[in-house]
Amino acid sequence: MPDRSPVKLFFTVTILLLGLSSAPLITRQAPPPSILDQIQRSGELVVLTRNSPTTFYEGPNGPTGFEYDLVKLFAEQLGARLKIVTPESFDAILPLVAQRNVHLAAAGLTVTEERRRRVRFGPPYLEITQQLVYRHGGKSPRDMTMLGNGLIEVVAGSSHADRLRQMAMRTPVNWRSSQTDVAGLLARVWEKTLDYTVADSHEVSFYRRYYPELRIAFDLGPPQQLAWAFPKGTDDSLYKEAQRFFQRIRADGTLDRLKERHFGHIRDFDYVGLRRFLRHQEQRLPRYRRFFEGAARKYGLDWRLLAAIGYQESHWNHRAVSPTGVRGIMMLTRATAADMGYRNRINPRNSIYGGARYFSQIKRRLPEDIEEPDRTWFALAAYNLGLGHVLDVRDITRRRGGDPDKWMDVKENLPLLMERRWYRKTRHGFARGIEAQRYVENIRSYYDILLWQTDSHRAPANTTILVRSPGLQQNVPPIL
């Protein structure tokens, strides 16, 4: 008879179970890769944004914009190349994200409760207010009850449309949405073909430099946050990576430097100065443009930057003379003009070519660690103050714990060149640092205007456009 002792039976069952556990499981499948794994395997981060000067556009040195620079850094952190796509219209952004046609949207999106139901927002990175805009000379309303029959038109699918929809439940409001973008609506208000529109505060600050008669009536509510939008789902690998990214760039100052780079020079609004610039741009610049373009080609510069320098120096007046004796469009000293190869500095061509050569030399002499676009802003300060004083303020910045290679940090320390307790410790002594601050910020603003008016704020030619047609299924497959 077979041995059925309890001990032997126990060992027999145990051996069988161990054998089964070591056998391969034919039906067991590995879990699917996370979104982050997929991005790192494909080597591509697909980001949806919109073409505008506050988000993404083609600049003189290639793609740029606040949102573009942010997501480019994020792609670098992931070890992936960045693929930018733009929607056919603003109101297609959230559907494209929700349907997982992109990894995320970085499009200057305001965080609202209604949008939270459709997408998942990442960490906020910029605070804005919604502002009602009108043209100077018309009614100046202080609240919604003073609008009368005036029409407000806003971008379809925007948070502005959501806000007006909510406000209309309490107060009668004459408003509508359209597929026109913010720039187009602000232009129509300026042209007096539209009574009012609503735009975010940083966009209003940007466009008021091109349409000086635009005015802010009032804010439509408390400040709001901008954030990236991610598809909803259980996979939060990319979302958590974005959280780590924003934590890092806040801690190391990168986020503040990007804000300074794109918005730091547009805070102050000088109506009279801008009006004068636009008038001179029309009346004076055409006489000298060919010289700016020729000098820019010769010295590898942007002619619009040279023109902006020339305007700050002389208002494009070739007979201009300063109290200190500098003369001409680019306000060269006699010695500098001679060093650049020109004796007659009143001659417009001589002045512009001499100024361009001098500016390019300054840029080359700056420390190699200073990168663009900061390098250009440093060179502008040196054109105004002298290179020695700029090197001095870099030393002051380093001593105060700032980054001497970043314009944002050095800019804040320029006024210290006027304080004895600081300038007596420098090699070159006293300098009018506040003047240099304003000098650089003014040129940056004039440069922006010239860029915008020569149609540089368009999307790069290789940008993918995702189309969402009303009533049809999305014509591109989900990537997630």
As annotated, the active-site residues are 313
Tokens 């440093």 belong to residue: 378
- Return the structure tokens found at 234: 């259980």
Helix (H) or strand (E) holding 8: helix 6-22
Residue 227: phi, psi to the nearest 5? Answer: -155, 160
- Three state DSSP letters for 121-175: ECCCCEEECEEEEEECCCCCCCCHHHCCCCCEEEECCCHHHHHHHHHHCCCCCCE
- Return the structure tokens found at 181: 């973008």
**130-135 vs 197-200, strand pairing mode:** antiparallel
- How many Cβ atoms are within 10 Å of 145's Cβ, its own excluded? 10
Contact 64, 456 (CB under 8 A): no
Which DSSP string do the residues of 74-119 spell out, in sequence order? HHHHHT-EEEEEEESSGGGHHHHHHTTSSSEEEEEEEP-HHHHTTS
Q: Which residues share a beta bridge with 81?
A: 44
Which DSSP string do the residues of 261-299 spell out, in sequence order? HHHTTSS---HHHHHHHHHHHHHTHHHHHHHHHHHHHHH
